[in-house]
Chain A
Amino acid sequence: MSGGEILSTLLASEVRGDLLILFHKNPGLIDTVDGIARRIGRTTISVISDVRELLQLGLLKQERIGASEVVFLDRAKDREILELVANHLKTVRIGGEN
Chain B
Amino acid sequence: MFQVSRQQCEDMMRMAMGTRESSSANPHGNLWPAQKSGANSNSTLEEAFSSLLTGIVCDALANALGRYVLDILASKGLLDDSDNPKQFDRGLQSLFGNGASVLERIVVKDLYRKLSIPYNSDAGFDYEKSLEAAKEVCFVESRLK
Q: Interface residues, chain A, CB within 8 Å of chain B? A: 7-8, 10-14, 16-18, 20-21, 24-27, 82-83, 85-86, 89-90, 92-96
Contacts and interface: CB of A to CB of B under 8 A. Distances in A.
Interface of B: 1-3, 60, 63-66, 68-69, 72-73, 76-78, 90-91, 94-99, 102-103, 105-106, 121
B78 A94 contact: yes
A8 B99 contact: yes
Chain B contact residues, majority secondary structure: helix
Contacts of B90: 95
Contact of A93 (B2, B63, B94, B99): B94
Nearest to B3: A25
A92 B93 CA distance: 11
A83 to B, nearest CB: 7
A21 B95 contact: no
Given A86-B69, A89-B69, A94-B77, A20 B64 contact: yes
Scoring B65, B73, B78 by chain A CB atoms within 10 A of each residue's CB, the highest score goes to B65
Contacts of B68: 82-83, 86
List 5 tightest A-B contacts by C-beta distance, closest first: A11-B99, A82-B66, A17-B102, A11-B102, A86-B68
B67 to A, nearest CB: 9
A96 B94 contact: yes
